[in-house]
Structure 1
Amino acid sequence: MIKTLINPFDNLTDNQLFFLGFAGYFVHSIFSNQWNYIADGIIQLHQISSMPLGYSLVNNAINTLVLTLVLFIYGKIIFSKTRFIDVLNVVWFAQLTQVFLAIILFNPFVQKHTAHIQIAIENHDFQLKTVPKYELVLMGGMGILALFGIFYFFYLLVTGMKIAMNIKKKTFTILLIVITLLVDAVLKFSYPYIL
């Protein structure tokens, strides 16, 4: 199990990666619909009022397909034998971390405590003196887990793309991360999502 978490791309078959990635995409879309958040970028999740399941499916597909296409083109430039399905499997599998992040950040229990912090800020309590300490500790812990989730996303993306694109140089790895962050920024600012 630990080997699979460290390098799933060496320990799972293409079919297993595809199935897990697709299942993660679908679960993420259901969570987005039920817990009222949108993945409006590659590594961004934001609270919204509500969204139909079909919109969640489309919005998550936009993230997956845009990142996959951009990284596939990058892969073809540096390694002509890069296959689309390999890049898709890596992107889908890495995006499983968003399911983890959604469970941590948007489940009803956490949202109840987040609402207390939001109310305090709306009432100009910027030092959060009206919020119980245990809620602040809980939110701090959720923040640390969220940072770990983002780090793990990039770890999985780099680990998988090293195999899919036959990346040997650190320069190409750094460029992969920069490209992913640029795609995230372009998606955030162009906002091709439906609400």
Structure 2
Amino acid sequence: MNGKLVFLSKRLLWWTFWAIIGVLVLNAAVGLWMQYQHLVFNDSTCEPIGIYKLLGSPYPLHDGELVEVEIPGPAHHAAIAEGLKYHWFPAGQPWIKEIAAVPGQAVILARSGARVDGHTLPNSRVDRWTPSHHHRIVHYPFGTYHLKRGQVWLYAPGNYAFDSSYYGPVPETSILQRAVPWWTIPGSQFWLQKGD
């Protein structure tokens, strides 16, 4: 009886080992395939969660386009430093955002939201607190901003989206590539529920 238990335990360990190897190989294969297809996975609810296809050079930049963005450094604004400190997003992982405004356009930022050339961006109210109300959120100063050459204003429609309303305009050089949804979960940008 004891020998049978030892045999079953060894067999279970053997199958567990091969299952782990299989998962690792599959994960590596999917990663290589996505890289070859120029696909990236977005797990942030700033935009719908899912897979986005990268289309190469974003230039010339246009408002309304989705882009892959290199995260600004913590020296760029206190909100970036705060987000990194509390692990609201991983350091060094590019974001998927929408370009809301390009040089020559005006952005009015208020608690109620951001307006670009007179049009309010949907669901852009500036939040005061994190979803759990554990941390007050640093935001960009309210006011009117006329984007200068080399600047873009980023926007994301999701609840608690972290965009230029919190860290201000970013340099055009932060924009890596244009992006389009390849497969996403509709409505997932609203999964985090807004509080009062």
TM-score range, shorter chain: under 0.3
Normalised to the residue count of structure 1, the TM-score between the two structures is 0.23
More helix by share: 1
Normalised to the residue count of structure 2, the TM-score between the two structures is 0.23
More strand by share: 2
